[in-house]
Amino acid sequence: MARHKLRHDDHDNHERWLVSYADFITLLFAFFVVMYAISSVNEGKYRVLSDSLVQAFKQPPTSSKIVQVGNQTVMGAPAKPIALPAPPVPNKTTAEQAKKMQEMANQLKSSLDTLIDQGKVKVTQSKRGIAVEISDSVLFDTGRADLQPQSLQGLRAVAEMVKATDNLIQIEGHTDNAPINSAQFPSNWELSAARAASVVRVFAEAGVAPQRMVAIGYGEFRPMDSNDNPDGRAKNRRVTLNILADNKDEVAVLPLD
């Protein structure tokens, strides 16, 4: 008779959940160990903090200063007295320079008093130096840059006053806005620069060191008055002699106001 193979049914493992449970218990235990370690108080650090607080409360109170930070008001450190700088002591050299410039301005006013009374010359003094404004009618014919013979004596007198000094001298030519278009002067730039150069040449011939002087032509672009009327245009046609103060190392160019 043929043997029949016995068939054994496989049984399911009903205890596999124990593995997952054991892993869960292990993780839970590790979690509590970490939490306990974090919550433990460091006795050394606690003692240092305690000592610091005791020392702080033993010190005498100090006044605090309210400080405005943005839109918040906070208590800041006590204000410390600020030492104010001592007032500047007048420099002897500066005082001597100012006195020298004042004396020179007085001499110029005395020498040019007739033209000053006629309104043809104006002498002013500022921290920058002395400015002598001369109407072009005293020096030049209309549209010309050649000095009138009668103007040479006054210019040479001014040159005699300044040639013994070391001040820089800036000579400016100014015109009104009436256009000019000649072969010699295509525009007011050339006319104003040529007039300033004519005065510089007289000063150099009188003995003023050429390296101390500069000639500048501003044309009609720095008017003193309105060009809409004859009186204003007459004031704008001028030559200005700027005798600069202590400025050996400065560029002799008048800044814009």
- Note the pLDDT of residue 90: 55
**Residue 67 in domain:** no
* SS3 per-residue string spanning 141-171: CCCCCCECHHHHHHHHHHHHHHCCCCCCEEE
Instruction: Supply the DSSP symbol for 79.
Output: P
SS3 state of residue 105? helix
Tens of pLDDT along the chain (257 residues) come to 455 555 555 555 667 777 777 888 888 877 777 777 666 556 666 576 667 656 655 655 555 555 555 555 555 555 555 666 666 555 657 788 888 899 999 999 999 999 999 999 999 999 899 999 999 999 999 999 999 999 999 999 999 999 988 999 999 999 999 999 999 999 999 999 999 999 999 999 999 999 999 999 999 999 999 999 999 999 999 999 999 997 544 434 444 34
pLDDT in tens, 147-206: 999 999 999 999 999 998 899 999 999 999 999 999 999 999 999 999 999 999 999 999
Show the tokens assigned to 164.
């013994």
Phi then psi dihedrals of residue 4, to 5 deg: -95, 125
SS3 state of residue 66? strand
- The CA distance from 158 to 139, in Å, is 14
72-76 vs 169-174, strand pairing mode: unpaired
Which residue type occupies 143? G
* Among 247, 235, 234, 148, residue whose Cα is nearest residue 195: 148
Whether the Cβ atoms of residue 167 and residue 180 lie closer than 8 Å to each other? no
**Residue 54 in domain:** no
Give this prediction's pTM. 0.62
**Residue 151 in domain:** yes
**Residue 117 in domain:** yes
CATH for 216 = 3.30.1330.60
Q: Cβ neighbours of residue 166 under 8 Å, at least 6 residues apart? A: 212, 248
**Residue 193 in domain:** yes
229: domain range?
92-244
Domain total of the chain? 1
**Residue 82 in domain:** no
Whether the Cβ atoms of residue 193 and residue 215 lie closer than 8 Å to each other? yes
**Residue 237 in domain:** yes
Residue with tokens 């001298």: 169
**Residue 27 in domain:** no
Q: Half-sphere exposure of 152 toward its Cβ, with a 13 Å CA cutoff? A: 10
